[in-house]
């Protein structure tokens, strides 16, 4: 009798617990936001910082009760897909998003992937936020892609101009990996440098991404005696080795890149040889960061063990999606409504101090607002950490 009573009580308790948790689980409908990008291989750091930023922010918002869009409060769910930096996989990822009914996707991280997914996104009513720079993705008639960061043709000229004015740079050399992104960034950089009146002394040297010794690669570049060596589109994995080889070959001039880098990786790979290295930073500095940004960094670090400076920029895409949907709830399954809202959209920027706003920009570069507005932060590496060289706004 006692045993039967015990079983009945246990069963009832279990049933109640399951019902309660199911009710709690089903409390909010789910808003799925996709991520298609590279989370494995040499460029994994770029995509992983994206995905983790989105997951951190989504978990935080869900903990606060969800996101209210119109009359409905949603829990945000991130649907990730690793495209392995392969355009074919990126297409498969975007098709998966379409099948899952996802209308807003962050990524892909590289040029060819972003170009490859364009037809899928346009045919299936998906807005996507690539971290890729080809202008044709953002200029009419294209209208579904929104650049998630500052492009190299926006940051490059700003950096070169700063170095011309402040460091007397006259001669510049470019070196790039033999891949589509770095090569197109190099070409854009060369064009910008020439437009500013700089003498380009070397722009034909390239390297394989799996190079293990950069000495022979850099030897002819260093022999051209530039004042500034630009590592076009350099990945965080290759940057320390290139810097180290250049310094070991006796190069004493400036070194810069228009991609974001990681201070720990530079410290471990190049140590003090990386001092003075100039790169584009995540869109935040200690002076710009709000309490919300600091909390984001804390939460990210707790969730994943180590923060990535790039996430200062990559936290923004999800925020832009959610805030634009809040501004026009009809856009939740209608990307045309989203597009029409973008022109006038404005919301408080929670990650910056003062009265900074989230707005879409890009009219100057693309002829339409197809870029998120984030500050252009240019950093200088010094003794294991980044110091802000200057901050600017694009467009």
Partner 1 sequence: MEQILANGLYLGAQYALIALGLTLIFSLMNVLNFAHGQMYVFGGFVTYTVVAQFGLPFIVGLLASAAVLAVMGGLIEKFLFRPVIRRSKREESTMLLAAGIAFFLDAVILLLFGEKQRGVPKIVNGVLNWDMRIIMPYDRILIGVLAITLIASFILFMQYSRTGRAMRALAQDRMAAQLMGVDVDRYSMIGFALGAMLAGLVGGLLVTITGINLGMGGPTSVKAFLMIMIGGAGVISGAIAGGFILGMMESVGLTLLAAYGDITYLVIFATLMVFLAIRPQGLMGKPWG
Binding residues for partner 1, rule: CB under 8 A, are 39-45, 48, 178, 204-210, 212-213, 215-217, 219-220, 236-237, 240-241, 248-250, 262, 264-265, 268-271, 305-306, 308
> Least distance to partner 1 from the beta carbon of 372, Å?
24
Tell me how far, at minimum, the Cβ of 246 lies from partner 1, in Å. 11
User: What stretches of the chain show up as alpha helix (H) in DSSP?
Assistant: 2-25, 44-63, 87-99, 111-123, 152-167, 180-195, 215-223, 239-248, 263-270, 291-304, 311-314, 316-327, 335-342, 363-366
Which CB atom, from 233 or from 240, has the smaller least distance to partner 1? 240
Contact 349, 343 (CB under 8 A): no
State the burial class of residue 271 (Cβ atoms within 10 Å of its Cβ: 0-12, 13-18, 19+): middle
Nearest approach in angstroms of CB 279 to partner 1 is: 14
In the complex, minimum distance from the CB of residue 236 to partner 1, in angstroms, rounded to a whole number: 6
Q: H/E element holding 369?
A: none
Nearer to partner 1, 105 or 274 (CB): 274
Q: How far is the CB of 362 from partner 1 (least distance, A)?
A: 30
Q: How far is the CB of 4 from partner 1 (least distance, A)?
A: 47
Query: Please, are residues 290 and 73 in contact by the beta-carbon 8 Å criterion?
Result: no
Instruction: Please say which residue, 286 or 305, places its beta carbon nearer to partner 1.
Output: 305
Distances (CA, A) of 165 to 158, 195, 200, 392: 11, 15, 17, 16
* Least distance CB 317 / partner 1 (angstroms): 19
Distance of alpha carbon 193 from alpha carbon 385, whole angstroms: 28
**Long-range Cβ contacts of 94-102 (<8 Å, 24+ apart):** 94/36, 94/120, 94/121, 94/124, 94/126, 94/128, 95/120, 95/124, 97/34, 97/36, 97/124, 97/126, 98/124, 98/126, 100/32, 100/34, 101/32, 101/333, 102/32, 102/33, 102/34, 102/126
H or E, element range at 229: strand 228-232
Task: Name the residue nearer to partner 1 (CB basis): 285 or 308.
Answer: 308
Closest to partner 1 by CB, 59 or 209: 209
When the beta carbons of 129 and 251 are compared against partner 1, the nearer one is: 251
Task: Report the C-alpha gap between 12 and 35 in whole angstroms.
Answer: 41
What does the block give as tokens for 28?
């909010």
Q: Which is nearer to partner 1, 78 or 243 (CB)?
A: 243
Q: How far is the CB of 184 from partner 1 (least distance, A)?
A: 14
Closer Cβ to partner 1, 184 or 241, answer by number: 241
Element (H, E) at 64: none
């Amino acid at each position: 009798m006692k045993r039967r009573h015990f079983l009945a009580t246990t069963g009832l308790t279990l049933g109640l617990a399951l019902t309660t948790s199911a009710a709690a689980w089903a409390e909010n409908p789910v808003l799925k936001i996709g991520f298609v990008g590279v989370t494995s291989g040499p460029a994994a750091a770029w995509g992983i910082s994206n995905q983790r930023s989105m997951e951190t922010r989504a978990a935080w918002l869900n903990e606060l009760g969800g996101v209210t869009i119109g009359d409905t409060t949603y829990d945000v769910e991130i649907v990730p897909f690793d495209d392995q930096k392969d355009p074919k996989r990126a297409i498969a990822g975007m098709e998966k998003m379409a099948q899952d009914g996802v209308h807003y996707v962050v990524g892909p991280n590289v040029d060819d992937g972003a170009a490859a997914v364009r037809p899928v996104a346009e045919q299936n009513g998906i807005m996507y936020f690539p971290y890729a720079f080809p202008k044709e993705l953002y200029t009419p008639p294209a209208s579904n892609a929104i650049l998630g960061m500052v492009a190299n043709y926006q940051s490059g000229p700003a950096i070169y101009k700063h170095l011309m004015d402040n460091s007397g740079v006259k001669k510049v050399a470019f070196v790039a990996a033999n891949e589509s992104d770095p090569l197109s960034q190099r070409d854009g950089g060369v064009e910008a440098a020439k437009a500013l009146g700089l003498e380009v002394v070397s722009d034909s040297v390239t390297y394989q991404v799996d190079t293990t010794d950069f000495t022979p690669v850099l030897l002819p570049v260093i022999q051209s005696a530039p004042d500034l060596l630009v590592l076009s589109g350099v990945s965080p994995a290759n940057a320390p080795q290139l810097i180290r080889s250049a310094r070991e070959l006796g190069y004493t001039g400036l070194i810069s890149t228009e991609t974001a880098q990681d201070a720990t990786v530079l410290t471990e790979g190049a140590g003090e040889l990386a001092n003075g290295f100039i790169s584009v930073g995540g869109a935040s500095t200690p002076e710009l960061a709000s309490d919300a940004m600091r909390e984001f960094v804390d939460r990210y670090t707790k969730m994943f063990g180590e923060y990535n400076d790039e996430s200062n920029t990559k936290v923004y895409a999800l925020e832009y999606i959610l805030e634009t949907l809040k501004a026009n709830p009809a856009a939740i399954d209608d990307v045309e409504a989203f597009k029409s809202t973008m022109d006038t959209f404005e919301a408080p920027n929670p990650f910056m101090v003062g009265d900074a706003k989230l707005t879409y920009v890009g009219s100057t570069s693309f002829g339409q607002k197809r870029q998120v507005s984030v500050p252009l932060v240019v950093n200088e590496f010094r003794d294991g950490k980044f110091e802000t060289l200057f901050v600017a706004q694009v467009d």
